[in-house]
Structures are given as C-alpha cells and as structure tokens.
C-alpha cells in the first residue's frame, strides 16, 4: 500500500536539525527546537506503527519512479517497530541532553548532530535498497563520529580513532559487497533481489553467494559488534557524554542487527543450514565473551558496554534459529533491549554525577540517598537479566522456546547461563553503587567531591521514568507486544508479502 507519510521519519529530524543549525547562536532556541523535533519524531513514528498494524506493509516510491529503478522506502512491521523505538530513545535522549550536556558542546552544534544521527538511523530502517542503506549508514556514522569526538577530551579522542577506523573498514567491506552483488544480480533493490534469488539460486554457483553472504556478515557484524568484531565498542562507548552513550548504546549497534536480519531473511536464504549455523555459533560466542568481559570490568559504563555485546548475541540467535517464533523473539528482544539498555546508561550518568566517579569502588550509599533512583535502576537491571515479570523474561522465554523447538539445546543452555551471569553483573553494580555504605567521605585530589544534581533534576529523571515505565508496560502487557513481534517474525519468514508490496505492479 502506497503511503507518502513514509518520508516523515526522515524529514522531521532533517527539519529539526536544519532549524537548530539556523539558530546556531542561541542555545536556548536550539534546546526548544530539539525537544519539539524529538517529540514530533516520536509522534510520527507511533503513527507509522499504527498504520502498518492496520493496513499491512507500507511502500513509498520516492519521485514516482517504479520499484526496482527508483528510491524505495518500505515499512513492514519490523521497520515500524524499529522506527518507533528510535523515536522513543530520541525523545528520552533529547530530554536528558538538555539537562546534562554542557554549554560548550551545546554551542558547537550538539543538537543538529543529534538529529542528523536520528535521521540516519530512521533512513537505514526505512530504505528498501542496499545502496541507499550504505548511504544512510554513512549519514548515521558521520553524525556519530562528530558526537563521539565533540568536546575533545583525551579519552574521547582515543575512543573516536578506534570507532572511526573500524566503522570505515566495515563501510568499505559493505560497499565492496554491494558492488559484487550488483555484478551478480544487476539490481540492488532488496525486494527485487529477493525475488531474483528466490528463483535462480539453485542454478547459481553457491560459492559466490556464500562469499557475498560472509562479506555482508562481516560488514554488518562489525557495526552490530558480534563476536570477533566488537573491539571498537568497549573502547569507545564509555568516553562521550552519557546522553550520547545512551543513544549509541540503544540504537546504533541495533541498526547493524537490523541490517543483518534484513539481509539474512530476504537475500541469503538459499542454504540456511550453512550460513545460519555460522551465525548460531557466532551468537553463542558473542553472548559468552560479552558477559565475561563485563564481569572483569569495574567501571559502570564499561560493564554496561560489554553487556551490549552479550545481548547482541541473543538477537542474532533468533536470526540463526530461523523460525517465525525465533525471529519474533529477536524482534521482541531488540525492542526490550533498546529501551532497557538506553535506560541503564542514563541511570549510570546520574550515578556517576551523584558519586563524582565512574569507578564502582568509589561509589556507595546511593540507596540511602536516592531510594527512588535505586528502584528505577532495579527495574531495567533485573529486566536485562531476565527476571519475570519484566520485559527481558518474555524475550528470553520466546528465544529459549524457539531453540528447544528446533532442537538446538546447546545454544539454549548458553543463553540461560549467560542470563544468570548477567544477573550477577547487575547485582555487582547494585551492591557497589547502591547498597554498600560509602566509606571514603573526605574529598581529596584523587577523590573529587560529588557534584550536586543540576538545577532541573526533575527533567533529569523524566526520561529514566519514561523508559522504566515502558519496560514495565512491555513486561505486563507482553501479550500485546508479542503479537506485534510475532507478526514481524512471520513477515520476515515469508518475504513474498514484502516483495509483492514493493514490486506490486511491476511483476
């Protein structure tokens, strides 16, 4: 079904960023534009989700050129869910930025970059064409490069060099894979590719296809931070301001996961037993290395960064199992993870500010000072570990069920063991930062005095409250959310609907 509103999740952040650029001199005006733009994006994304839910897959051929020739935007249920999550995290991050980002960064274009980042993310979700996906990746990356480096502190600079290098290598690989794919198939429209591969893959030399699949796996795997390719993430995610970290942690790696799921459900399904088995092994290794890395860390944001990696394993585990239930579990997991992980980063920022340090050893006593904040930390932390009735439990339950149904007992055992270790890691943060009494009260040079909370501390807690409420809603209303995820999973497993919606009259 044609829907011209599909350009809105791209146009709204673009307009916001431009408006913020035009009021570059006035930080006050930029703050209001930032808030308004983020709220508008969230409104648009929820509208998109409801219209996809009511009317099925939505398509827009930009400029009126028919499908395999022009620029295609597609929104199926998976895309709509991802865009909605981008809208939610965008709003939470925008509110948090107003309170926590310093005026130096604000006056050097923080807000325009933030919205360009959101534009890149939404564009990557919506596009129906591989080359456009490359372009949106670059839009997203260049905005994230500057956001990561803005401020110019030593840690940021070192983190940025690693982040930039590995992401550029990944982009070069992605571009090479796109070129080879075009040479093989003569089109880059994903629906057209799926249609052609669906008919010809038996006759094609499978070696070339497998090479292409592995190139895409490596290119997107670097961006998604899967097992042997994740080293840029823990080296950089703890360096920028917390609002930036939280949005990166929530959205950026998930764009890589989104691309992996898209490509490995639409294009490379000719030999699932081989390609998806490799992904399954990588999923297990990603979970295990991520959680062990986290156990070795003693800084709150470093612990959380390693947990991103281990959670990525769960998402691609659903892709690797490749059944409708497993993919629904993946989609549910992504939705749960984005909200919970962004929230944990936001809380880590509050904790670091209140205790004046990012080292867990120097923290303590926050439960006595901030009982509400402690409760708000426990909700996402226990949800991440997968305790019922929070959102993470249902996400892990559906993945475990899918694993048992396909007979992959090994990966289910790994997943359950890793979630136990996640609980251990979350309890470490709880014990160190919140529960144990603060035992070094005298401030000194090595031990700076805790800074007071900023003036508008209500605004500070607002995004945390919003995301914690959403975690509870997903947990207690898991049936409704899971229906949505199930529909996304079924659409991903049967690409005919996607192909039909995009190519429609052309075929």
Partner 1 sequence: MEIILAFVIGGLYAAGIYMLLRRSLVKLLIGLALLAHAANLLVFTAAGLTRARPPVISPGAAALQIPVSDPLPQALVLTAIVIGVGVIAFALALAFRVYRVVGEDDLDRMKSTDT
CA atoms within a 13 Å half-sphere pointing along the CA-CB vector of 180: 16
Residue 414 Cβ, how far from partner 1 at the closest point, in Å? 22
Residue 296 touches partner 1, criterion: CB under 8 A: yes
Q: Which of 161, 427, 438, 462 binds partner 1 (CB under 8 A)?
A: 161
Residue 168 touches partner 1, criterion: CB under 8 A: yes
**For residue 16, what are the contacts with CB-CB under 8 A and spacing of at least 6?**
33, 34, 36, 37, 38, 40, 41, 115
Please choose, out of 9-17, 41-49, 159-167, 421-429, the segment that lies near partner 1 by the rule CB under 8 A. 159-167
Q: Which of 131, 270, 277, 292 binds partner 1 (CB under 8 A)?
A: 131
Report the C-alpha gap between 21 and 25 in whole angstroms: 9
Residue 315 Cβ, how far from partner 1 at the closest point, in Å? 22
Nearer to partner 1, 300 or 376 (CB): 300
DSSP assignment, residue 75?
E
Residue 169 touches partner 1, criterion: CB under 8 A: yes
Give, in order, the Cα–Cα distances in Å from 368 to each of 242, 373, 419, 465. Answer: 24, 10, 28, 19
Taking Cα atoms as reference points, which of 309, 288, 314, 316 lies closest to residue 393?
314
Q: Which of 7, 39, 71, 180 binds partner 1 (CB under 8 A)?
A: 180
**For residue 458, what are the contacts with CB-CB under 8 A and spacing of at least 6?**
none
Number of Cβ within 10 Å of residue 216's Cβ equals 24
Report the C-alpha gap between 48 and 84 in whole angstroms: 8
Residue 451 touches partner 1, criterion: CB under 8 A: no
DSSP assignment, residue 444?
B
Nearer to partner 1, 234 or 403 (CB): 234
Residue 117 touches partner 1, criterion: CB under 8 A: no
Residue 62 touches partner 1, criterion: CB under 8 A: no
Q: Which of 256, 284, 293, 495 binds partner 1 (CB under 8 A)?
A: 293
Residue 480 Cβ, how far from partner 1 at the closest point, in Å? 39
Residue 145 touches partner 1, criterion: CB under 8 A: yes
Q: Which of 152, 410, 448, 480 binds partner 1 (CB under 8 A)?
A: 152
Q: How many residues does the chain have?
A: 507
Q: Which of 101, 178, 247, 255 binds partner 1 (CB under 8 A)?
A: 178
Question: Which tokens in the block code for residue 132?
Answer: 């456009």
Residue 208 touches partner 1, criterion: CB under 8 A: no
Residue with tokens 């914690």: 468
Binding mask 301-330 for partner 1 (x = CB under 8 A): -x---x------------------------
Question: How many residues belong to the site for partner 1 (CB under 8 A)?
Answer: 43
Please choose, out of 25-33, 146-154, 258-266, 331-339, the segment that lies near partner 1 by the rule CB under 8 A. 146-154
Angle at 336 between CA 335 and CA 341, to 5 degrees: 105
Residue 157 touches partner 1, criterion: CB under 8 A: yes
Question: Which residues are bridge partners to 71 per DSSP?
Answer: 62
Question: Which tokens in the block code for residue 369?
Answer: 């000072």
DSSP assignment, residue 438?
P
CA atoms within a 13 Å half-sphere pointing along the CA-CB vector of 412: 16
Give the interface with partner 1 as residue ranges (CB under 8 A): 131, 134-135, 138, 141-142, 145-146, 149, 152-155, 157-162, 164-165, 168-169, 171-173, 175-176, 178-180, 182-183, 234-236, 238-239, 293, 296-297, 302, 306
């Amino acid at each position: 079904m044609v829907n011209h509103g599909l350009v809105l999740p791209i146009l709204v952040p673009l307009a916001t960023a431009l408006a913020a650029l035009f009021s570059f001199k006035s930080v006050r005006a930029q703050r209001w534009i930032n808030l308004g733009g983020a709220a508008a994006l969230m409104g648009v994304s929820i509208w998109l989700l409801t219209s996809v839910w009511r009317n099925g897959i939505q398509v827009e051929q930009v400029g009126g050129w028919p499908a395999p020739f022009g620029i295609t935007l597609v929104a199926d249920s998976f895309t709509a869910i991802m865009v909605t999550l981008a809208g939610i995290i965008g709003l939470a991050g925008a509110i948090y930025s107003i309170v926590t980002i310093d005026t130096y960064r604000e006056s050097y274009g923080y807000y325009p970059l933030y919205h360009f980042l959101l534009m890149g993310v939404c564009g990557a979700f919506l596009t129906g064409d591989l080359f456009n996906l490359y372009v949106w990746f670059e839009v997203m990356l260049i905005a994230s490069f500057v956001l990561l480096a803005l401020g110019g502190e030593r840690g940021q600079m070192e983190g940025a060099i690693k982040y930039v290098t590995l992401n550029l290598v990944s982009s070069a690989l992605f571009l090479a894979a796109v070129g080879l794919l075009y040479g093989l198939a003569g089109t880059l429209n994903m629906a057209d590719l799926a249609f052609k591969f669906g008919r010809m893959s038996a006759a094609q030399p499978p070696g070339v296809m497998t090479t292409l699949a592995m190139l895409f796996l490596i290119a997107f795997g670097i961006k998604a931070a899967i097992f042997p390719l994740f080293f840029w993430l823990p080296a950089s995610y703890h360096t920028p301001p917390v609002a930036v970290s939280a949005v990166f942690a929530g959205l950026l790696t998930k764009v890589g996961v989104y691309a992996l799921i898209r490509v490995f459900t639409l294009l490379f399904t000719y030999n699932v037993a081989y390609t998806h088995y490799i992904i399954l092994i990588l999923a297990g290794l990603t979970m295990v290395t991520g959680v062990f890395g986290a156990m070795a860390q003693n800084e709150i944001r470093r612990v959380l960064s390693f947990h991103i990696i281990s959670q990525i394993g769960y998402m691609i585990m659903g892709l690797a199992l490749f059944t409708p239930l497993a993919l629904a579990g993946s989609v549910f997991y992504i939705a749960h993870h984005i909200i919970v992980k962004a929230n944990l980063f936001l809380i880590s920022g509050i904790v670091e500010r209140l205790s004046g340090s990012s080292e867990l050893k120097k923290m303590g006593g926050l439960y006595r000072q901030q009982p509400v904040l402690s409760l708000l930390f426990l909700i996402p932390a226990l949800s991440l570990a997968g305790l019922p009735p929070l959102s993470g439990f249902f996400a892990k339950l559906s993945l475990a069920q899918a694993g048992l149904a396909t007979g992959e007992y090994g990966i289910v055992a790994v997943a359950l063991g890793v979630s136990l270790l996640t609980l251990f890691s979350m309890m470490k943060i709880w014990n160190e930062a919140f529960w144990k009494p603060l035992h070094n009260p005298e401030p000194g040079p090595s031990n700076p005095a805790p800074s007071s909370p900023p003036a508008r501390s209500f605004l500070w807690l607002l995004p945390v409250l919003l995301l914690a409420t959403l975690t509870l809603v997903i947990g207690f209303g898991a049936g409704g959310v899971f229906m949505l995820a199930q529909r996304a999973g079924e659409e991903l497993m049967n690409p005919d609907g996607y192909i039909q919606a995009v190519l429609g009259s052309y075929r």
